[in-house]
Every structure is written in structure tokens, then in C-alpha cells.
Amino acid sequence: MNDRGHLSRRRLLADLASGGVLVALAGCAESDTGTEADTDADGTESEPPAADDLDLRETNVVDVAFEATDSGYAFDVTLHHDDDGEEGYANWWQVERLDETRLGRRELLHAHSEQPFTRSETVAIPDDVIRVVVRGHDQTHGYGGVAALVAIDDGPVRFVDQGSEPRSFDAEDFS
């Protein structure tokens, strides 16, 4: 997987641990203290927001790692949502073109008490697509929260809080 995703998980664990929250991510026991996230003028961040800054009623994408495979791209997407706090739970995440055309979706069939949690899916990405959006969804609120902007061609992942409705993106959001 790309290095950025691995460091982001370590950063997220450190941020959560410093806030007194116990989090266990399978296969990721290391931590790194890191610094505050860099926020651009347009609200996108090179690192996901700290757990205390998330609206957990919404499904927040807090990490994305990916690598090319023979059948597409293998995505590891980490979500943070208050699955135990409401009747609804995070029920999928998806990868889309910038025009919001869905390329692939990972269905989630039950609530996850362990937060944040990571699930994987391989998605076929057409050769002409070099930028995608990864969004989470929950049963109660639909789309919302933090989405990830992924540059398939060179690896950077940026995060943007789209609020309670899905935000549209274009190539300028990646610069």
C-alpha cells in the first residue's frame, strides 16, 4: 500500500490515544505523535481531522490506502462513525469519479463497535481516471462527513469535510 495511508493510521491512533480514547486497529499497533493537520484555504487537509473534530453522526473517511492490482485498485478505507450511538450504521463506502459516477462500492452489513474500522475492496478504475473520491454513507443521514480525494496517478490523499451533504469536486480540489 502507499506510504501515506500507513502513516495516517499511525497519526490517527496517536491523536485518539492523546484524547484518552482506546482504539485498536487490527494489524496496526505502532503510533506516531505527528503534528496538527495542514489545512488549505479551501478546507481540504493533507491529514484527516482529529477524532474530536469529527461529526460522528456522519460517516467519515479517515484513511485511504490503495495499490494497483491485476483487476483494478485494492482500496483499504478506514471509516469513523458512531455506529453504536444510533439505530443507523455506516452501511457502505464507495469510490467515484469526480462527476460522482460510482466506480465501486463496499457494502457494510452491520454496525461496527470498534471505531475507527477498516474494510477493503478492489475497484476497477478506467485508464482515463486519475482522480477519485472516496465517500462513506450511513443508513440515517446518507452521505456526509469527511470524504477523501485520491490521486491514483501519484498517490496523494486529501480530506475534506463535506458537511451533511455530498460535495462535488473537480481537478482544482487536488492542487
Give the lowest-confidence range in 61-65, 114-118, 134-138.
Answer: 114-118
pLDDT at residue 36, rounded to an integer: 34
Give percent above pLDDT 70 in the chain: 67
CB-neighbour burial class of residue 137 (10 A; exposed 0-12, middle 13-18, buried 19+): buried
Question: pLDDT above 90 covers what percent of the chain?
Answer: 35
Helix (H, G, I), strand (E, B) or coil at 4: helix
Average of per-residue pLDDT across 149-161: 90
**pLDDT(57) > 80:** no
> Which CATH class name applies to 3-174?
mainly beta
- Bigger pLDDT: 77 vs 112: 77
* Planar angle of CA 82, 83, 84, nearest 5 degrees: 95
Query: pLDDT tens digits, residue range 80-93?
Result: 877 565 567 788 99
